[in-house]
């Protein structure tokens, strides 16, 4: 381009705007250019219709328009083949249309090649200056509400970029392996455009076979008239290994009803039981042609595929190595997949829209502590998986019939999915509840109406749900079966508390302190004469508000939990740190002074609920003030703590005082020269039976020993409270009570 041409072009771009000017600089440049001379030398190199371009000096000007039709960039093509873009970095979604009408095809081949392709095929073609813009335009067209998207023509060396064949609406086509678009006849090109080759990433099958939309072929029908169709399109999409170390081939194929699905085939069966593999495929809907050789050809295709993609099959949902594995998708590592997703329909369901839940349910939640509690419990069920030190626990909403308890459960369940599916019943055996809890690992479990549970099973169910592990069992041959395990937050309801339910059994055992924090009873009534509500948010009464909540939950559900998962899975380690900090902040602000150990543990659980809610706010999944979340959870924690003995004295207070007085007088284990009531050795203290009895005072020495053992402060040896060690002086075996001082908070004496 000459200096005069460049000067004229720059002047046209930067010409001062007049009043009410609506043209962009690129449109002004286009208007200032001349019509193309049919004999222009650049047309020999860029065979394009003169009506699709203009000229300025020696350069052809080809307009690139955005989706609204505005010229946002211009390609300047010189007779020597050079192409310059103005501006040098044009907007992302621009393309030039070669030909008339809506483009059938889209490409990012070089401009010269794109013009040749348009001339040789006669197809209307949209041209993008680079690959990123072409894929962006293709994606936008794919997601457009109306019309069909153009087929993206991909160069031969980019065939690895093709999406998996079950991705709907995103059509791409490549030339056959080893060829370029301009190495084929027009008839062969048109065949490739009408019957696209299908590609699966990280899979290379034998050169003898080709997979197109029309099916699996021995040969390539685009190049060989003798090519034989074997059946529908099919691939070995991945090699999979399960938790037991067994390997599988993950087959991807199209069924009779034109849907794509996966099937897991044991690797051993592929070699040792090939006919069974074919039978399983046909039973699953694969279309196999009726020819004598098709079965052998299909097996040859599957066995000769070179698959580099390897997946780990995960048997249960939840966090695995900082990735969250759900039944229908994985958040995090792409090489982990749930067994339910490893086979079945290939197309994942779209993520529900979380903004709809926010729009319709957040205004109803505003100012209502029990609804905030329910929402935070839903998010905490995911968040707890990032804190391995925390055990499972549940919130039990207690209230009279028709008080709104079920509305709270449906509200919490709507964060995960359809409440009609998500809300389960207590009415199950202990083994049934174990299976249900294991299926809800790191996922909210909602149980309605405790009264349905048998009184004999209530105590065991509460213990096992909170303990996070099922009972050890054997199979029919007496072989040990690993018990199910889980870590979750569950939400339940009932007209009575767990203690009241257990008391219905005449032989009920005495309630243990741990049960109070495994299932924490919270009054469903907020205490304002409105049932579960603190405020009606403009509704006439509680019944009207409950009806609005129930209706909205049924219509808008599932989005918030997946949005929350997607957000925290991007930085799970940072999210874990954030949860710990926010939980500690809740405790420092709301934990009552002089709280007992039980109340402290219970407030720690409520602190997790508040921390999870705050994290959801941080990621935009909830839109409300952080202080409002903390205060709502604190109100519910207060309701629970009223059922506990907040000022209960520490049963170890006297023991700790006497131990603090004794410690400075104990000799070191390594340097002791005479008998003593005890010895210090690093962070441990070795106490004789006589010294232990003195420390316990009037309290039962066995009871205190058991209490300290449960807290991890007393060493146990083969289940015994005393440990045998050789005496530091005369080396004879002697029984000691061995304390881990770091586990005991001692008073200052």
- Reply yes or no on whether the pLDDT at 421 is more than 70: yes
pLDDT band at 3; cut points 50, 70, 90: very low
Let me know: does 367 contact 535? Beta carbons within 8 Å: yes
Residue 595 lies in a domain: no
pLDDT band at 506; cut points 50, 70, 90: very low
- Kindly state whether residues 289 and 366 are assigned to the same domain: no
CB half-sphere exposure, 99, CA atoms < 13 A = 20
**Residues ≥6 apart with Cβ < 8 Å to 468:** 391, 392, 485, 486, 487
Residue 402 lies in a domain: yes
- Kindly state whether residues 338 and 471 are assigned to the same domain: no
Residue 640 lies in a domain: no
Higher pLDDT, 17 or 256: 256
- Kindly state whether residues 315 and 201 are assigned to the same domain: yes
Q: For the ranges 99-103, 176-180, 411-415, which has the lowest average pLDDT?
A: 99-103
Q: Is 337 helix (H, G, I), strand (E, B) or coil?
A: strand
- Kindly state whether residues 340 and 366 are assigned to the same domain: no
- Kindly state whether residues 341 and 359 are assigned to the same domain: no
- Kindly state whether residues 39 and 126 are assigned to the same domain: yes
Residue 384 lies in a domain: yes
- Kindly state whether residues 317 and 368 are assigned to the same domain: no
- Kindly state whether residues 323 and 378 are assigned to the same domain: no
pLDDT band at 510; cut points 50, 70, 90: low
Summarize pLDDT for 293-329 with one digit per residue, the tens.
999 999 999 999 999 999 999 998 999 999 999 988 9
Higher pLDDT, 376 or 243: 376
Q: Which residue has the tokens 């207060």?
A: 638
* Residue where a domain stops, chosen among 305, 322, 348: 348
CA-based nearest residue to 740, from 665, 694, 660, 685: 685
Domains of the chain: total: 4
Residue 628 lies in a domain: no
| Residue 88: predicted pLDDT | 85
Interatomic CA distance for residues 216 and 230, integer angstroms: 5
| Residue 497: predicted pLDDT | 80
Q: How many CB atoms lie within 10 A of CB 712?
A: 11
| Residue 450: predicted pLDDT | 72
| Residue 12: predicted pLDDT | 52
pLDDT band at 10; cut points 50, 70, 90: low
Interatomic CA distance for residues 709 and 306, integer angstroms: 57
- Reply yes or no on whether the pLDDT at 49 is more than 70: yes
Distance of CA 193 to the CA centre of its chain: 37
- Kindly state whether residues 413 and 498 are assigned to the same domain: yes
- Reply yes or no on whether the pLDDT at 498 is more than 90: no
CA-based nearest residue to 569, from 352, 312, 350, 323: 323
Residue 176 lies in a domain: no
pLDDT band at 396; cut points 50, 70, 90: very high
- Give me the CATH number covering residue 689: 1.10.10
Residue 647 lies in a domain: no
Interatomic CA distance for residues 78 and 60, integer angstroms: 7
Entry field: residues in the chain: 749
* Residue where a domain stops, chosen among 570, 591, 614: 570
pLDDT band at 740; cut points 50, 70, 90: confident
Q: Which residue has the tokens 């790191």?
A: 442
Interatomic CA distance for residues 61 and 39, integer angstroms: 15
Q: What are the start-end ranges of the H helices in 569-718?
A: 572-590, 597-618, 626-641, 653-662, 689-696, 701-710
Higher pLDDT, 4 or 125: 125
Task: Supply 150's token pair.
Answer: 């153009």
| Residue 20: predicted pLDDT | 47
- Reply yes or no on whether the pLDDT at 593 is more than 90: no
**Is the backbone peptide bond immediately before 608 cis, with ω within 30 degrees of 0?**
no
Mean pLDDT, the chain, as a whole number?
86
Mean pLDDT to the nearest integer, 339-351: 83
- Kindly state whether residues 414 and 559 are assigned to the same domain: yes
Interatomic CA distance for residues 666 and 678, integer angstroms: 6
Summarize pLDDT for 531-588 with one digit per residue, the tens.
999 999 999 999 999 999 999 999 999 999 999 999 999 999 999 999 999 999 999 9
Q: For the ranges 43-57, 281-295, 520-534, 608-622, which has the lowest average pLDDT?
A: 43-57
- Kindly state whether residues 253 and 364 are assigned to the same domain: no
Q: How many CB atoms lie within 10 A of CB 619?
A: 15
| Structural domain of 440 | 354-570
Residue 599 lies in a domain: no
Q: Is 709 helix (H, G, I), strand (E, B) or coil?
A: helix
Summarize pLDDT for 114-161 with one digit per residue, the tens.
998 888 888 889 999 988 888 888 877 766 554 567 889 999 888 888
- Reply yes or no on whether the pLDDT at 78 is more than 60: yes
Summarize pLDDT for 211-226 with one digit per residue, the tens.
999 999 999 999 999 9
pLDDT band at 481; cut points 50, 70, 90: low
| Residue 647: predicted pLDDT | 43
Mean pLDDT to the nearest integer, 691-713: 82
- Kindly state whether residues 391 and 433 are assigned to the same domain: yes
% of the chain at pLDDT higher than 90: 47
* Residue where a domain stops, chosen among 301, 327, 348: 348
- Give me the CATH number covering residue 503: 3.40.50
| Residue 597: predicted pLDDT | 84
Summarize pLDDT for 426-470 with one digit per residue, the tens.
877 767 788 889 999 999 999 987 766 777 677 677 777 877 887
Mean pLDDT to the nearest integer, 587-599: 89
């Amino acid at each position: 381009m000459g200096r005069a041409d460049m000067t004229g072009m720059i002047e046209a771009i930067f010409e001062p705007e007049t009043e009410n000017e609506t043209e962009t600089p690129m449109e002004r440049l286009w208007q200032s250019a001349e019509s193309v001379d049919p004999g222009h030398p650049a047309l020999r190199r860029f065979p394009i219709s003169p009506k699709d371009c203009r000229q300025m000096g020696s350069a052809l000007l080809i307009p690139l328009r955005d989706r609204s039709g505005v010229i946002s960039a211009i390609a300047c093509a010189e007779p020597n083949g050079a192409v310059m873009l103005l501006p040098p970095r044009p907007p992302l979604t621009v393309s030039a249309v070669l030909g008339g009408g809506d483009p059938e095809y889209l490409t990012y081949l070089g401009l010269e090649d794109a013009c040749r392709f348009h001339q040789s095929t006669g197809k209307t073609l949209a041209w993008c200056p680079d690959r990123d813009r072409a894929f962006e335009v293709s994606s936008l067209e794919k997601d457009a509400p109306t019309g069909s998207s153009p087929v993206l023509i991909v160069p031969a060396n980019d065939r690895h970029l093709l999406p998996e064949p079950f991705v709907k609406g995103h059509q791409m086509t490549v030339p056959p392996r080893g060829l370029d678009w301009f190495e084929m006849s027009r008839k062969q090109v048109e065949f490739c455009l009408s019957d696209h080759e299908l590609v699966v990433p990280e899979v290379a099958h034998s050169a003898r076979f080709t997979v197109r939309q029309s099916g699996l072929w021995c040969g390539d029908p685009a190049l060989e008239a003798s090519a034989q169709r074997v059946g529908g399109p099919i691939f070995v999409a991945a090699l999979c290994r399960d938790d037991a170390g067994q390997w599988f081939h993950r087959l991807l194929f199209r069924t009779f009803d034109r849907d794509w699905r996966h099937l897991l085939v044991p690797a051993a069966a592929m070699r040792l039981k090939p006919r069974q593999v074919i039978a399983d495929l046909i039973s699953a809907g694969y279309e196999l042609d009726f020819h004598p050789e098709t079965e052998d050809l299909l097996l040859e295709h599957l066995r000769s595929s070179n698959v580099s993609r390897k997946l780990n099959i995960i048997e249960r949902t939840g966090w695995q190595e900082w990735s969250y594995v759900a039944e229908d998708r994985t958040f995090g590592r792409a090489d982990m997949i749930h067994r339910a997703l490893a086979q079945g329909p290939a197309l994942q369901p779209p993520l529900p829209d979380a903004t709809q839940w926010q729009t319709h349910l957040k205004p109803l939640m505003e100012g209502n502590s029990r609804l905030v509690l329910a929402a935070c419990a839903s998010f905490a069920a995911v968040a707890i998986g990032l804190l391995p030190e925390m055990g499972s626990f549940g919130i039990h909403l207690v209230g009279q019939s028709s008080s709104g308890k079920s509305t709270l459960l449906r509200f919490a369940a709507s964060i995960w999915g359809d409440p009609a599916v998500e809300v389960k019943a207590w009415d199950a055996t202990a083994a049934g509840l174990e299976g249900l809890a294991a299926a809800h690992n790191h996922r909210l479990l909602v149980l309605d109406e405790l009264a349905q549970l048998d009184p004999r099973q209530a105590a065991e169910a509460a213990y096992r749900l909170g303990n996070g592990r099922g009972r050890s069992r054997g199979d029919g041959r007496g072989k040990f079966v690993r018990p199910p395990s889980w870590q979750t937050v569950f939400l339940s309801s009932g007209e009575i508390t767990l203690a009241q339910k257990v008391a219905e059994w005449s032989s009920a055992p005495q309630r243990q302190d741990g049960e109070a924090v495994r299932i924490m009873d919270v009054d469903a009534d907020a205490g304002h004469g409105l049932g579960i509500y603190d405020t009606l948010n403009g509704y006439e009464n509680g019944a009207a508000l409950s009806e609005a909540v129930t209706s909205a939950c049924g219509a808008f559900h599932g989005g918030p939990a997946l949005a929350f998962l997607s957000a925290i899975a991007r930085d799970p380690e940072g999210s874990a740190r954030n949860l710990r900090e926010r939980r500690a902040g809740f405790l420092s602000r709301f934990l009552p002074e002089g709280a007992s150990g039980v109340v402290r543990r219970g407030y720690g659980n409520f602190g997790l609920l508040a921390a999870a809610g705050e994290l959801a706010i941080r990621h935009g999944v909830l839109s409300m003030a952080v202080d409002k979340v903390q205060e709502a959870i604190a109100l519910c924690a207060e309701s629970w703590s009223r059922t506990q003995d907040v000022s209960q004295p520490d049963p170890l207070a006297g023991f700790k005082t006497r131990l603090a007085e004794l410690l400075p007088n104990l000799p070191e284990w390594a340097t002791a020269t005479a008998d003593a009531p005890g010895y210090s050795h690093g962070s441990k203290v070795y106490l004789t039976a006589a010294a232990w009895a003195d420390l316990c005072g009037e309290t039962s020495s066995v009871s205190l020993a058991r209490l300290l053992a449960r807290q991890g402060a007393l060493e146990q040896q083969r289940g015994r409270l005393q440990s045998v060690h050789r005496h530091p002086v005369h080396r004879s075996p002697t029984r000691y009570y061995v304390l881990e001082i770091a586990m005991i908070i001692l008073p200052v004496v």
